[in-house]
Structure formats: C-alpha cells, structure tokens
Amino acid sequence: MSTLATAYPWQMKIEKPFDISRREFRADPFPFYAWMRAEQPVYRAKWGRRDVWLVARYDDVVAVLKDERFVKNPANVKDPTKKSAQPWLPAFLKPLSTNMLDQDDPNHARLRALVHKVFTPSRVEQMGEHIQQIVDSLLDRVAGRGSMDLVNEFALQLPLTVISELMGVPERDRIRFHRWVKATLQASSPWLMMMMLPSVYGVMRFLRRLVAERRVHPGDDLLSALIAAEEAGDSLSEDELLGMVVLLLIAGYETTVNLIASGTLALLQFPEQMQLLRAEPTLIRGAVEELVRFASPVNEATERFASEDINVAGVTIPKGALTVAVLGSANRDEHYFERSDELDIRREKNRHLGFGQGIHYCVGAPLARLEGSIAINTLLQRLPNLQLAVQGKKLRWRATFAVRGLEQLPVRF
C-alpha cells in the first residue's frame, strides 16, 4: 500500500496508512479522492487507531449504502472467534448505542417509523418564519461591527437555537445546554469521546430530567410528541427515547452548521456564483443542493461493518471490517457531475449523495435545507460586501470523522 504522499503529489507528510480525521487532510481531501476514483476506488486507511476501508466511486458508494450485508450494528457481524467491534461504554452512555442510526432492520424500521410520525415535513415547514426571525436577530447583533466569525457567531448559533426550541429546552437552560452539546459534538474519535465524558454526562443527565418533566408537563415540542407516541403503544424504551433525542440533536445541528459555513465559503471562492444568487434569490433551492454536493458537509457516511467478505470494485473487504462510503468523493465523481470541481448553482443534473442514500437517509435533511436556504439567502442580501477576512489557506478545519467543517470563518462586510 502506498502512502498518501507518494500516491498523490501531496503537500504534507502523512504516515502509512494515513488518518482520515487529521485536520491537514480535512482541509482539502478532494484531490486524493480524485486519485482514489481513478486508481484505487477502495482504499485502506486509518480513523484514529482503527483500520477503515474507504469507498470512493459514486456507484460503489450507492451500492454500499443500500447493501444489507454492510450492517450498522457491529453486533450483527457474528464471528465467535473475534471480540465485538462495539467499544466499551459507561452505563450513562447506553442510550447512544440504541439510536436508530446504529440499528439494522427490523429495529431500525420501527424506530424510524416512530420519528416520522412526529418529525414531519409540515412541522419543519411551519418553522420557516421563526427561523427567519432568528437569522435576522443574529445578523442584527453584528451589523455594526463590520466583521464576525461566521461559524461561531452565526452558523452554529442558528441550529442550536432551533433545535433547542424544537426539543423544548427551556430558555433558562439553553446557554448551559449549548455548551454541553458543542463540547460533546467535538468528539470525533473513541479517544476524544472519553475526554468529553463530563460534557456528555451533563447532556444525558439534562435530557433525562427534561424527559421526566415533559412526561408530567407536556408541551408543544418534538420531545413531548415523541413521549406521546411512546405512550400511545409504540415499543419505545427510555433508552431508545433518549437515543432518538440525541440523534435528532446531531441531525438538526451538525449538518446545518457545516452547510451554512462551508457553503458560504464555497460562494466566496466562486464570487460569480455568489453574485448570481444575490441577484436571483429564487435560485436558492438549487443553490443549496449544489452547496451540499460541492462542500459535502457530511463528508463520509457513518460507519458500516461487513457482515461477510464482500467484493467492492474488485477488492475484497473482509468480514467485520469498518467500511465507510465517502460521500464527498461520490459528489465529485466525474462520471456523474460535469465540471465536478466547480460550483454551479444552476446545475440541473444533481443527484448528489450529501444526505446519504437508502434506509439511513438523513432524517434531518428537510430541516438542514430550510435553515441553510434562509440563512444563506439572508446573509447575501443583508451583507452585500461579504468577503473573507483571512487567506483561505489559513482557515482551520476540524479534525473530525464523518463531518467536514471549519473551526472558524472570519469574514468582513
């Protein structure tokens, strides 16, 4: 196996095999993805200390996402000669292992049917006016300053506020809740998760108390609706309820932050596209789809495990192997997207995989699209002189797995 440095003319030193969560790689993984698609469409790399098999081409990514032999729950890889792939979890983290993202059918189907009962498109659409108010309020705070960190003062604040309200988090608790959630979502590896345990514990304890309160005093929020659905007869345990809440927090937060921030960066890097969208704001729907394709806020689909030896693109992925479908690579596949490395908000053929594919398609996609549309359009209209405040090469990308996002995005206007 060749190193990244020798396999592609790269500007950095990376060990063999390289770690895909390193911030140097996250800054611009797309040239390497292009090499993968052309030369080695299934590539063995590292995520922390774990081996991971990366799948790069569009067709192969779709096949992996739809193939039931690639399971989400490692316990379904039955091999008595090997230890379970499940990491040890403290008792208070048990609900995290029950969320539907890590389940296979039929359990996944049962949990997803439940969330679809309450997290409906109509509920999301009704939030549009209020999301606009939040966006305007955030921009009002910085209007007179002429500069801001677009990640932490705008892109992050919007989805955290929306998801807090959606879940019924009391206003008095939101500052503390925001701090816990932000810290928890920085955990990009099992090791970092251990370091974040105090914050994760705070989130889980807070959510248990909130669930108990909503059982006694239900409100007009998503959490109360989930509890009502459970009590109407659905077989949803307390841990499953908490796991669902945590998943919706992530689905309603992480994708949107990166869509807004990375999407804005993409527009700044293609100023003619930014001017086009500013002049024709009705193009926003297609623009958001193109920004999802181009920036790939969720760069890799969440992990899957081969339940048997599986051949992908002529390579045998061994049973039990951690396998990752690289959405960011599929979204730049030259066989599916003309001028795939260019941003084109008028792009017509855009069957991107930015929200996944198959039964685990992102449940938060409608909310991310709505928030992204309102945030980006309003940003361009209210800040006509928006520009980067630093050179692009100085931007720092988070050292994460699955998502690809900026730590900061300094802009002036």
CA–CA gap between residue 200 and residue 91 (Å, rounded): 12
* Domains, the chain, with CATH or none: 4-412 (1.10.630.10)
Provide the pLDDT for residue 62. Answer: 98
Q: Which residue has the tokens 């292009």?
A: 34
- Using CA atoms, how far residue 54 sits from 17, 164, 202, 325, in Å, is 12, 34, 34, 6
Write down the pLDDT at residue 327: 97
SS3 375: helix
Contacts of 276 (CB under 8 A, 6+ apart): 283, 345, 346
Cα–Cα distances in Å, from 379 out to 66, 154, 257, 408? 37, 10, 14, 17
Q: For residue 232, what pLDDT is reported?
A: 56
Residue 36 makes CB contacts below 8 A (sequence gap 6+) with 43, 54, 56, 326, 329
The predicted structure's pLDDT at residue 396:
93
Q: How far apart are CA 43 and CA 41, in angstroms?
A: 6
**Kind of pairing, strands 50-55 and 322-325?**
parallel
At 400 the pLDDT is 77
Please give the pLDDT value at position 9.
Answer: 46
The single residue listed with the structure tokens 């945590």 is 246
Gap between the Cα atoms of 364 and 361, Å rounded: 9
User: Closest Cα partner for 243 from 94, 364, 87?
Assistant: 94
User: Which one, of 85, 79, 42, lies nearest residue 64 by Cα?
Assistant: 42
Residue with tokens 């816990």: 180
- pLDDT values of the chain reduced to their tens digit, one per residue, 413 residues: 344 444 444 444 444 677 887 888 889 999 999 999 999 999 999 887 789 999 999 999 999 999 999 999 888 886 544 544 455 566 766 776 777 878 888 888 888 888 887 778 888 888 999 999 999 999 999 999 999 999 999 999 999 889 888 888 888 887 777 777 666 655 555 556 566 677 778 888 888 899 899 989 999 888 888 888 765 566 567 888 888 887 877 766 778 999 999 999 999 999 999 999 999 999 999 999 999 999 999 999 989 999 999 999 999 999 999 999 999 999 999 999 999 999 999 999 999 999 999 988 888 899 999 999 999 999 999 999 999 999 998 999 988 778 899 999 999 99
Residue 43 neighbours by CB under 8 Å, 6+ apart: 36, 53, 54, 56
User: Of 155, 171, 397, which Cα lies nearest the Cα of 253?
Assistant: 155
The predicted pLDDT at position 233 comes to: 60
378 CB burial (10 A radius; 0-12, 13-18, 19+) = middle
End-to-end CA distance of the chain: 47
Chain centroid to Cα 203, Å, comes to 19
Give the pLDDT of residue 5.
Answer: 44
Sequence-ordered alpha helix ranges (H) in 58-106: 58-66
Residue 107: CB atoms within 10 A of its CB come to 16
Q: Which amino acid is at 367?
A: L
Residue 10: its pLDDT value, please?
44
